[in-house]
Structure 1
Amino acid sequence: MTLYKIYTNKKNLSIGIALVCLVLVLLFSSCAKDYETVPLGQQSTLDLIFDVHDSAGINAIQYLNNVYNDALISGHNRVGGSNGDYIDAASDDAVSSYTGLSSVEKIAEGAYTATQTNADDIWTASYTTIRAATIFINNIDRVPLKELLPNGELARAAYRSEARFLRAWTYFELLRRYGGVPITKDSVYQLTDNIDLPRESFANTVTYIVSELSDIEDSLRPQEDVNSVNYGRITKGAAMALKAKVLLYAASPLFNGGNIDPSNPLTGYTNYDINRWKLAADAAQDVINLGTYGLVSNYADAFITQAEPIGTNTEAIFWRQNGGNTSVEQTNGPIGYTSAGGNGRTSPTENLVDAFPMSNGLPIDSAGSGYNPNDAYSNRDPRLKATVFYNGVLWLNRPVQTYDGGLDKPGGTLQQTKTGYYMRKFMGNFETVNGSPVYSNTIHDWIYLRYAGVLLDYAEAENEYQGPSNEIYNILFSIRKRAGIDPGVNMNYGLALGMNQDQMRQTIRNERRIEMAFEEQRYWDIRRWKIAADIYSQPLYGLDIQQTSQGELFYNKTIVLQPNFIAPKMYLYPIPYSEVVKNTNMKQNPGW
């Protein structure tokens, strides 16, 4: 496994030490119940990693880097293994272009059970990470680390808090998939221990995660200290933004008033409390009030520009460093550009394309929008062109051809778009080599939390708590202004003034969809909003584009996939059957 290289100025570990670390990570690979027998040499291994004579903390920091690597999984084409699919290809925003039955399509069609879990099941891997993080937390004080933070404080506390953040992040990932889960806190269990741990309630799991994040935020580095030495390390802003995200989920309909099993404390709250929305709004407001983050001027730059040197990407709050490569372009680019390569793995849907407004900010079906179905891509929200390749858009020195028989949709058995669209987001520019265009090396850090998301989190929570306000309108104006939408004579960027709460709710939800497409938002949003059953009851559409011998194009909307949602159980993943069988205290989610 490639290590998460975030601490670049430390000396590389010797091969022997690296192997010891790898053995230790493998040793700790287990879930809440299934642990390996601990060899007699474990203590000496811990003594080597958390060396009481290592004032530079080289071994311990490398161990923490490995925890980063395991906890932070890049979202780029992650589902189904290397060069797989984006999880949003299991929503209404895209389908997989894979010619067989892909793992992400199985998720969209509900083709999984407790015994045959889906490709997004993370239970065992998560508890492996939680255990490893806890070992670091419990042992880092043994290391006489002399490193100081810019404020003069010892760096040890920051490193410990980073591990606590990674543990909290992992619990959040479990929470939104399964509901309440077993919480091990600072315990590291051995095979001889009684480890038939029950699941904590949803409420207790939320409380634990939030309390951990609140406790560590002041000991983490501020964003201002991010530089080439500590690029990628967890910051105070990341802890605050994650707390806001956790509280947003906790306040959302699936868990707050819409519990799929109303009396079951494992699957959500057993009552509705509007004040949960206020907690989420206040937490997001705290991030805004830091004054540290801001929207970058160019929407596309938010995903291909690093946050170092300071000020380059003011939007990134929490991310995994992937470095420069052409992997996203090679995996998802249109297939017809032979000199550059492109496997066209992701096919955005017409459903997503239709969600983008016009450049005047009006929905395409709104009176006065100016939408012309025979010229559907003219005068659209500029984010559409930054998100999707459509027929005729210029790319690599020629127009994309997604009409039947075109260079980018030749037909046959070759993997290619199923919808008439390819994904454009996250891709960099290109260069010309020997007269042919090729993809340029591009930063593909995976951003989990960015400032635009925090703004939308605040807008949503505030609207749910007290309805539309000037602050909410101003947030939407700022996001649309950055997108390049025409402000109009009234400076309202196409938004209707005087919206009621439900109208604002739908506006915010659509803005989230188009602003954050393919960022692992839509897939989870339609679940926490408890609208997935309705969304998945609708077909997913693409375009069949025919070109006549005279070059005239005809666009025909066609069904490419009918998702399946067996409500209500699919709002949460099943606890893996193996866990339920071996742990008598482990209760399965309803319906599984």
Structure 2
Amino acid sequence: MKKIAFYIISILLLSGCSKVLDYPNLSRYEPDLVWNDPNLANAYLGNIYDRAFGNWNIGLDAQSEQLTGISFSVPVTTTNPGALSIDWGTNYTQIRLINQGIISTNSGALSQDVKNRLLGQLYFLRAYAYFGLVKTYGGVPYIKIPQDRDTDSLNVPRNSTRECFEFMVADLDSAIGLLPRRVVASSADWGRIDGNFAHAFKAKVLLYKASPQFNPSNPWNNNFWADAYTQNKKAYDSLKAQGYALIGDYAQIALSERNAEVVFSVTNLFPNKVAAWDNGARPGSLSRGPASTTPTWEMVKSFPMKDGKKYNDVSGKYYTADTLQAYWLNRDPRFEKSVVWNAKLYPAAGTTSGYRQYTSVGVADALDSYGINPKSSTTSQNNNRYSGFFILKNSNLSLTQAQVQQYDVDYVVMRFAEVMLNYAEAANETAHTDDALAILKQIRQRAGIEPGADGNYGITANTREQVRQAIMDERNVELCFEGHRFNDLRRWRLFSLLHGKNKTGVEAIAINADKTEMPLTTARQMALNNQLTESNFVYRLQVTPQTGVTVNTLPETYYFAPIQQSVIAAANKIEQNKEWGGTFDPTIH
């Protein structure tokens, strides 16, 4: 067996510590040593963990309408699949390492208990890796033996999409049978996959299997919904019985690490492992450079009002005809915990007491400004990436500007709110609409939305179709900026919400009490003293970006990515997807 290069994180291997992620950088290993030593076997596993789940990424939802940026600015091709695809070779390298781990664990001299724990994690990780490929391409070669890049042929046909789902479920069932039921927050093993995460992820996989993406001819009445409901209910009931729950404060879902809502998270710890969240989310004047992306007006409009009604619902308690000029008032409390808007109080460490964040060009710091006010002597350089808003959700405002690159909040891969919403979706599609509505009410109750006289938290949906839309809308808000929206739109076959559409920002222009425009010299001085509030501005919509390509291109053919032509050229048994000139049907048929 050849020596395989791999990389780990910490410095504790030789001291005998057995934590998955606490191992030094090693350039090579001897298989006969690794699979007879639990520490070395865990080090090998730690390398796979490090690549499997990613970390906080401020741009995870930039492909959707939640954040600025045109991810699909040019047509996707088989030679350049761009943002639609994930890297084929990188994923199969990960799978090769997992398969090697499974084979070697079984053949090594480790105790059976150690073997079971290793194998449980490896089976899960294999299903997790294939899930990323299948939701992108449809069926792929589901390889279960370690392919050697130098001697083994990688030129194997694709398994059908149905087979891939069956294999993923089988791997997850194997994992569930071997893993401990729960790794508690106080355990030294926190950060390892446990049975609860495997159960919840299996439920998610089955939700995808039933989805319109894979069943376009029968999107909502196919037989797979029954399995999705059974598994999602089982996962929800089991986790709830063990104490998983929505925590009280939505603002703390990640910042309060290892809380009752966290199903699985990746451990970060400065200085060994940090993430670029605050350094991409914060206004540029309080960070190490301009914000990477910002929330759109389309996302802002998605947040309901305090009574749970839509912002433009004339029957709402807080409805106002001039919605743009008072957009920040009386909104769902998740809005103020997720988004920074012009003149909002923003108590970042190192700022003065009562600091307000401004975005108006000519008023705000140049690194924060957005807009085209012709009366400004300076031109904003941010109009192609900014929107007049910034991300607040999951920001650690206790970090000073000098510390923003020290962000080490644990990355939440799955939380109980997602488990609940997955269950609600499957329940609604299988004639359990009352259960789905009960879940939505719990989500909104925790959010702080008013229950109303009827106790429905502003929910008026009662038919299957209406509740489906309510679940889609709730996911958009509850899980915003966490990387779910694009995948949701893809599995629901709703790229029509993105295709040919602009994204929009909101420009703020300072005004006097009589509504005339305030001289910018006056406005700037008042802003420096934090004296301008939201009502001291008038608001105008602007398309963002303002130059170049300003609309997304996501036609129906984009629900599955093409396999890159270079992959097919090197492996002629791999068929291209039929939407891209090939013969392979990526749906379930």
Alignment TM-score, normalising by the size of structure 1: 0.81
Q: How far apart are the structure 2 equivalents of 1:553 and 1:156?
A: 64
Relative distance call for 1:287 and 1:91 in structure 2 (3 A) is same
User: Percent of pairs identical after alignment?
Assistant: 28
- Secondary structure (helix, strand or coil) at the match of 1:155 reads helix
Relative distance call for 1:535 and 1:415 in structure 2 (3 A) is closer
Q: Does 1:477 align with 2:437?
A: no
CA shift for structure 1 position 23: 4.3
Q: Return 5+ residue gaps in structure 1 as ranges.
A: 25-44, 78-85, 97-104, 147-152, 260-270, 308-312
Q: How far apart are the structure 1 equivalents of 2:541 and 2:444?
A: 28
Q: Does 1:329 align with 2:289?
A: no
CA shift for structure 1 position 536: 2.3
Relative distance call for 1:256 and 1:412 in structure 2 (3 A) is same
Relative distance call for 1:472 and 1:330 in structure 2 (3 A) is same
Query: Match for residue 173 of structure 2?
Result: 214
Q: Does 1:158 align with 2:163?
A: no
Query: Match for residue 131 of structure 1?
Result: 96
- Secondary structure (helix, strand or coil) at the match of 1:476 reads helix
Relative distance call for 1:482 and 1:215 in structure 2 (3 A) is same
Q: Report 1:6-21 matches (<5 A).
A: 10-11=16-17, 21=26
Q: How far apart are the structure 1 equivalents of 2:383 and 2:410?
A: 26
Q: How far apart are the structure 2 equivalents of 1:420 and 1:59?
A: 50
- Secondary structure (helix, strand or coil) at the match of 1:47 reads helix
Relative distance call for 1:6 and 1:115 in structure 2 (3 A) is farther
Q: Does 1:277 align with 2:225?
A: yes
Q: How far apart are the structure 1 equivalents of 2:11 and 2:562?
A: 34
Q: Report 1:170-189 matches (<5 A).
A: 170-189=129-148
CA shift for structure 1 position 138: 0.8
Relative distance call for 1:2 and 1:400 in structure 2 (3 A) is farther
CA shift for structure 1 position 288: 1.4
Q: Does 1:404 align with 2:361?
A: yes
Q: Does 1:588 align with 2:576?
A: yes
Relative distance call for 1:193 and 1:155 in structure 2 (3 A) is closer
Instruction: Confirm or deny: 8 A CA contact 1:345 1:415 kept in the other structure.
Output: no
Q: Does 1:203 align with 2:157?
A: no
Query: Match for residue 74 of structure 1?
Result: 55
Aligned length: 518
Query: Match for residue 559 of structure 1?
Result: 543
Instruction: Confirm or deny: 8 A CA contact 2:280 2:292 kept in the other structure.
Output: yes
CA shift for structure 1 position 258: 4.4
Query: Match for residue 64 of structure 1?
Result: 45
Q: How far apart are the structure 2 equivalents of 1:5 and 1:530?
A: 43
Query: Match for residue 334 of structure 2?
Result: 383
Relative distance call for 1:420 and 1:500 in structure 2 (3 A) is same
Q: How far apart are the structure 2 equivalents of 1:570 and 1:314?
A: 37
- Secondary structure (helix, strand or coil) at the match of 1:154 reads helix
CA shift for structure 1 position 242: 0.9
The one-character-per-residue Cα deviations of 1:222-259 (angstroms, maximum 9, x if unpaired) are 22545341111001011111111111111111111349
- Secondary structure (helix, strand or coil) at the match of 1:108 reads coil
Q: How far apart are the structure 2 equivalents of 1:486 and 1:2?
A: 50
- Secondary structure (helix, strand or coil) at the match of 1:558 reads strand
Instruction: Confirm or deny: 8 A CA contact 1:7 1:231 kept in the other structure.
Output: no
Instruction: Confirm or deny: 8 A CA contact 2:7 2:27 kept in the other structure.
Output: no
The one-character-per-residue Cα deviations of 1:38-88 (angstroms, maximum 9, x if unpaired) are xxxxxxx322322x3x3xx111110110011122222414xxxxxxxx131
CA shift for structure 1 position 116: 2.3
Q: How far apart are the structure 1 equivalents of 2:135 and 2:465?
A: 25
CA shift for structure 1 position 517: 0.8
- Secondary structure (helix, strand or coil) at the match of 1:490 reads coil
Q: How far apart are the structure 1 equivalents of 2:108 and 2:491?
A: 42
RMSD: 2.8
Instruction: Confirm or deny: 8 A CA contact 1:346 1:417 kept in the other structure.
Output: yes
CA shift for structure 1 position 532: 0.5
Instruction: Confirm or deny: 8 A CA contact 2:105 2:119 kept in the other structure.
Output: yes
Q: Report 1:240-251 matches (<5 A).
A: 240-251=199-210
Q: Return 5+ residue gaps in structure 2 as ranges.
A: 1-5, 371-378, 511-516, 524-535, 581-589
1:587 aligned partner, one-letter code: E
Q: How far apart are the structure 2 equivalents of 1:356 and 1:70?
A: 34
Instruction: Confirm or deny: 8 A CA contact 2:68 2:385 kept in the other structure.
Output: no
Query: Match for residue 549 of structure 1?
Result: 518
Q: How far apart are the structure 1 equivalents of 2:149 and 2:399?
A: 55
Instruction: Confirm or deny: 8 A CA contact 1:5 1:65 kept in the other structure.
Output: no
1:538 aligned partner, one-letter code: K
